């Protein structure tokens, strides 16, 4: 990257007073050094990557090491090439130490750390302790900071900067230009682009404290609209991965769960801009669908999202909602997850009849007690289908012990084991006694066989059982996903288990064949000290076989099946108890960041976060709650109109206080005015994104106007923000819900608070 020929600063005429060399000369010199260093780093990484790619692939561990190096070098190079000088977000100067007379030190903070060839740090990574004072300093607690400067970049050049002074040092005063308005509040006035803006340089002290909080246990971040909950969640993901040695995480082992696919698209650019490419993202529906795979297919194997004919929108994913609210409520009850356990146990009862297994040496008998012993041998936590191999091995051991004395030596015992392992009658008997079960078939049976559902969920009434029945076992709805996921977790992958068992049987047969060859070679060799007798050693015989690696069992393992070291859940107030189990079974450590607003819950949220998280199974001693109360996004004019809407149904709602005013009042009109409203706004605003929020979410007239106008339902708009929001017929919100009045108010509150500049409500 060549050093810029012109100044790094491109300040407009209105900011000419900030162009004083006394204010920016030191920055100019520092950015020249940063530019040179970036160019050297890019050249070095490019050369190393090319050399590694041209080098031999090697074999075994060498191949894995080479591929790992290539991925790491390519990721580092991508990160460096993503940024220019805008890799730097600002700097701070420490206060002069009076006791020692030590002068101030200037620390430049970047999205990544950067050190020149001499070892001099040019940028400290924003996630390191050295950068913490940049974000945490306040007038009440300066953290040893004399002043802080935040940059605003455009086109690779600085178009504005903001200085905040925390010390009255006269020497420093000549090098700063204090602003009346903070960088954060000023940045909020910019037009939206359809993607979440880069806000790293303007992270506030209260947000930074949450980002850097300990990852042990669960942290609940409660905040109303516009308080920066999503900003905190995303930056916390990047921070925790950077601090992986302290938090026990590794690359690819942190999951961000969002409310719907538009949300994940909206935030897609944030984490790469923070130097992180390894955070996995998903909706809660994605977790279940990814883990279930073919179990979700209909009778013809058509993917559900296609068969349903709906796009991802909300926690439901690609499935239609449950048509009956009471059926949805029953399926969301955590006791229904417990019913899955009972449903599987139904297939884990040992046979009550003996059977004979004929062999070359003798007819062997398996009694009911033998079957019970084999079933009891399954290790705790082993999925049902994957326990099949353990049971089969135990049955073989029991039969071999029973045949003691029939085989006269080790060779015959090995032959007996191989014969029993491949015996088709024993395999069929085990498949009847402990069948391989598909998750979709198991849950489908609950909805189509009333007696089976009654057996597994005895707390259900006869009427509730009737309500849950349906004629098509594969007519899945969004409410089925957590139960399907629970079944998949309890059962394991039937196909994988079959492959593993087949691989073990083939391996046993191959090992026996090779041992026979070895015996023949030894018999033909009359040298007692030669190589051939060495082949008698079992360890060497095993080594001659292709190793049975973890890949044999992990092949096809779902990427989102977990476990994860840490999971961040945004809009967590919408999760049902059953959906929470989908999250928790992927995070056995209980290390969670839970982000949400109880007032925005369409499902009702009478508990505190502490109570909710305790109830779903997290230990109370490891739960902490923090609150955000300043609304940085929504102007006060809009919040003054929105607050009464939510407080009418939820008096204790955490309605945040707006940090700014737009001067634009909320306006009202008629639905027939929608085309004129959009046309006028688009003409007056060449930049920015508008959203029409209506109950049906149908694109209607909005799509015809511009690709800068979106149409969403309130649920689909959750977590997003737009310059203009047009709320269409808010009285139609919540129709069909059990408590339509509360749902209507919540939906309207959510819709109103998506606006960053202007809100218009249209009624019939």
**Can you state the angle between helices 388-402 and 424-433, rounded to 10 degrees?**
130
What whole-number distance in Å separates Cα of residue 407 and Cα of residue 413?
A: 6
What whole-number distance in Å separates Cα of residue 569 and Cα of residue 303?
A: 26
Per-residue pLDDT at 495 = 66
How would you write 650-676 as a 3-class SS string? CCCCCCCEECCCCCCCCEEEEHHHHHH
Query: Do residues 394 and 377 lie in contact, with contact meaning Cβ atoms separated by under 8 Å?
Result: yes
Under-70 pLDDT residues of the chain: 1-5, 59-61, 96-103, 168-202, 244-252, 275, 277, 290-318, 404-411, 494-558, 697-705, 735-740
What whole-number distance in Å separates Cα of residue 278 and Cα of residue 254?
A: 8
Pick the CATH number of 636-762 from 3.10.180.10, 3.30.70.260, 3.40.50.720, 3.40.50.300: 3.40.50.300
230 is in an annotated binding site: yes
Of residues 268, 265, 210, the one with CA closest to residue 239: 210
How would you write 529-585 as a 3-class SS string? CCCHHHHHCHHHHHHHCCCCCHHHHHCCCCCCCCCCCEEEECCHHHCCHHHHHHHHC
Per-residue pLDDT at 636 = 93
Per-residue pLDDT at 609 = 93
pTM: 0.74
Of residues 392, 401, 480, 400, the one with CA closest to residue 436: 392
Quickly count: other Cβ atoms within 10 Å of residue 625's Cβ. 14
Per-residue pLDDT at 572 = 93
Where does CATH 3.40.50.300 sit in the chain? Answer: 213-293+558-628, 636-762
Per-residue pLDDT at 312 = 33
What whole-number distance in Å separates Cα of residue 424 and Cα of residue 430?
A: 10
- Give the three-class secondary structure for 722: strand
- Give the three-class secondary structure for 741: helix
6 is in an annotated binding site: no
Name the pairing type of β-strands 363-366 and 722-728.
Answer: unpaired
228 is in an annotated binding site: yes
Query: Do residues 718 and 571 lie in contact, with contact meaning Cβ atoms separated by under 8 Å?
Result: yes
What whole-number distance in Å separates Cα of residue 29 and Cα of residue 27?
A: 5
Per-residue pLDDT at 514 = 63
- Give the three-class secondary structure for 52: helix
Q: Per the structure block, which two tokens stand in for 320?
A: 């239609």
What are 329-334's contacts with CB under 8 Å, separation 24+? 329/738, 330/460, 330/464, 330/467, 330/468, 331/468, 331/479, 331/480, 331/482, 331/483, 331/578, 332/479, 332/482, 332/576, 332/577, 332/578, 332/579, 333/577, 333/578, 334/577, 334/578, 334/580, 334/581, 334/616
549 is in an annotated binding site: no
Pick the CATH number of 213-293+558-628 from 1.10.260.40, 3.10.20.30, 3.40.50.300, 3.90.226.10: 3.40.50.300
18 is in an annotated binding site: no
Query: Do residues 439 and 487 lie in contact, with contact meaning Cβ atoms separated by under 8 Å?
Result: yes
Q: Let me know the angle formed at the C-alpha of 105 by 103 and 108, rounded to the nearest 5 degrees.
A: 165
Per-residue pLDDT at 317 = 47
C-alpha separations of 101 from 168, 204, 420, 573 in Å: 16, 31, 85, 53
Per-residue pLDDT at 638 = 95
Per-residue pLDDT at 34 = 93
């Amino acid at each position: 990257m060549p050093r810029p020929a012109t100044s790094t600063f491109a300040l407009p005429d209105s900011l000419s007073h900030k162009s004083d060399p006394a204010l920016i000369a030191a920055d100019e010199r520092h950015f020249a050094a940063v530019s040179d260093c970036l160019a050297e780093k890019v050249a070095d990484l490019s050369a190393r990557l090319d050399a590694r790619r041209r080098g031999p692939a090697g074999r075994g561990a060498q191949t894995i090491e080479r591929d790992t190096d290539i991925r790491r070098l390519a990721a580092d190079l991508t990160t460096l090439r993503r940024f220019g000088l805008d890799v730097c977000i600002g700097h701070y100067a420490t206060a002069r130490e009076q006791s020692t007379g030590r002068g101030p030190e200037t620390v430049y903070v970047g999205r990544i750390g950067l050190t020149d060839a001499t070892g001099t740090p040019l940028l400290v990574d924003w996630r390191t302790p050295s950068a913490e004072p940049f974000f945490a300093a306040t007038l009440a607690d300066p953290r040893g900071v004399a002043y802080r400067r935040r940059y605003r970049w455009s086109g690779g050049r600085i178009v504005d900067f903001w200085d905040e002074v925390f010390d009255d040092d006269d020497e420093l005063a000549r090098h700063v230009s204090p602003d009346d308005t903070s960088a954060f509040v000023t940045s909020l006035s910019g037009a939206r682009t359809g993607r979440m803006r880069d806000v790293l340089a303007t992270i506030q002290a209260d947000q930074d404290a949450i980002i850097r909080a300990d990852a042990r246990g669960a942290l609940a971040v409660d905040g109303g609209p516009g308080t920066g909950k999503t900003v905190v969640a995303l930056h916390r993901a990047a921070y925790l991965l950077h601090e992986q040695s302290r938090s026990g995480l590794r690359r690819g082992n942190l999951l961000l769960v969002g409310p719907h696919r538009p949300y994940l698209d909206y935030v897609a650019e944030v984490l790469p801009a923070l130097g992180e490419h390894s955070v996995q993202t998903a909706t809660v529906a994605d977790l279940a669908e990814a883990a279930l795979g073919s179990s979700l297919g209909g009778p013809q194997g058509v993917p559900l999202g296609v068969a349903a004919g709906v796009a991802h929108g909300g926690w439901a994913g690609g499935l239609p909602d449950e048509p009956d609210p009471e059926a949805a409520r029953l399926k969301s009850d955590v006791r229904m997850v417990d019913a899955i356990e009972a449903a599987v146990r139904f297939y884990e009862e040992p046979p009550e009849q003996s059977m004979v297994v004929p062999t070359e040496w003798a007819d062997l008998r398996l009694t009911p007690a033998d079957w019970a012993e084999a079933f009891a041998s399954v290790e705790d936590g082993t999925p049902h289908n994957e326990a099949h191999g353990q049971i089969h091995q135990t049955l073989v051991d029991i039969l071999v012990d029973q045949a003691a004395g029939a085989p006269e030596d080790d060779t015959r015992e090995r032959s007996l084991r191989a014969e029993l392992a491949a015996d088709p009658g024993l395999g069929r008997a085990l498949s009847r006694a402990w069948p391989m079960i598909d998750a979709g078939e198991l849950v489908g049976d609950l909805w189509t066989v009333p007696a089976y559902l009654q057996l597994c969920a005895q707390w259900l009434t006869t009427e509730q059982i009737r309500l849950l029945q349906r004629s098509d076992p594969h007519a899945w709805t969004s409410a089925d996903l957590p139960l399907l996921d629970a079944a998949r977790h309890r059962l394991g992958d039937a196909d994988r288990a079959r492959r593993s068992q087949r691989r073990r049987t083939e391996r046993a047969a191959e090992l026996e064949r090779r041992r026979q060859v070895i015996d023949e070679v030894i018999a033909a060799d009359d040298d007692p000290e030669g190589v051939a007798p060495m082949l008698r050693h079992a360890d060497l015989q095993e080594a001659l076989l292709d190793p049975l690696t973890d890949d044999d069992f992990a092949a096809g393992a779902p990427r989102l099946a977990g476990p994860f070291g840490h999971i961040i859940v945004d809009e967590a107030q919408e999760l049902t108890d059953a959906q929470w189990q989908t999250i928790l079974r992927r995070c056995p450590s209980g290390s969670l960041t839970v982000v949400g607003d109880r007032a925005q819950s369409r499902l009702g949220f009478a508990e505190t976060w502490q109570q909710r998280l305790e109830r779903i199974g997290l230990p109370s001693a490891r739960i902490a709650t923090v609150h955000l109360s300043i609304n940085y996004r929504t102007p006060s004019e809009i919040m003054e109109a929105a607050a009464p809407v939510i407080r009418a149904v939820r008096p204790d709602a955490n309605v945040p206080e707006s940090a700014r005013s737009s001067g634009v009042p909320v306006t009202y009109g008629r639905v027939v005015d929608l085309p004129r409203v959009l046309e006028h706004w688009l003409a007056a605003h060449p930049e920015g994104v508008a959203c029409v929020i209506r109950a049906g979410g149908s694109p209607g007239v909005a799509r015809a106007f511009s690709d800068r106008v979106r149409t969403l339902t309130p649920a689909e708009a959750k977590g997003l923000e737009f310059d203009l929001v047009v709320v269409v017929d808010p009285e139609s919100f919540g129709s069909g819900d059990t408590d339509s009045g509360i749902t209507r108010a919540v939906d309207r509150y959510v819709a109103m608070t998506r606006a960053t500049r202007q809100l218009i409500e249209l009624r019939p």
